């Protein structure tokens, strides 16, 4: 019983983080400067995850691939659980 509860919690947490990162990617197209409150919230919630990934990736010009990479990794983790 406890294992199933923990597994469901981990899946829910992974899905929530996945949705936050996806929201950050979409908002970066709409409001890249982060001027509205929702954009600032998404930036604050996802930057601790995206920042280190962004620093590990080589510079690719104007495209930030860190969000897409994090979505792929989170999706793989979600399927693994």
Distance CA 5, CA 18 (A): 20
Mean pLDDT estimate for the chain: 93
Residue with tokens 């495209």: 63
Residue 16 has pLDDT above 90, yes or no: yes
pLDDT of residue 60: 87
Residue 36 is predicted with a pLDDT of 92
Q: How many residues does the chain have?
A: 81
| Band of residue 61 on the pLDDT scale cut at 50, 70, 90 | confident
Helix/strand/coil for 35: coil
- pLDDT above 90: residue 2: no
State the Cα angle at 53 between 5 and 44, rounded to 5°: 70
Share of the chain above pLDDT 70, in %: 99
């Amino acid at each position: 019983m406890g294992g199933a509860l923990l597994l469901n919690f981990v899946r829910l947490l992974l899905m929530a983080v996945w949705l936050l990162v996806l929201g950050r990617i979409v908002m970066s197209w709409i409001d890249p400067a982060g001027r509205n409150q929702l954009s600032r919230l998404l930036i604050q919630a996802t930057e601790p995850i995206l920042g280190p990934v962004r620093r590990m990736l080589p510079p690719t010009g104007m495209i930030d691939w860190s969000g897409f990479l994090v979505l792929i990794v989170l999706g793989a983790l979600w399927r693994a659980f």
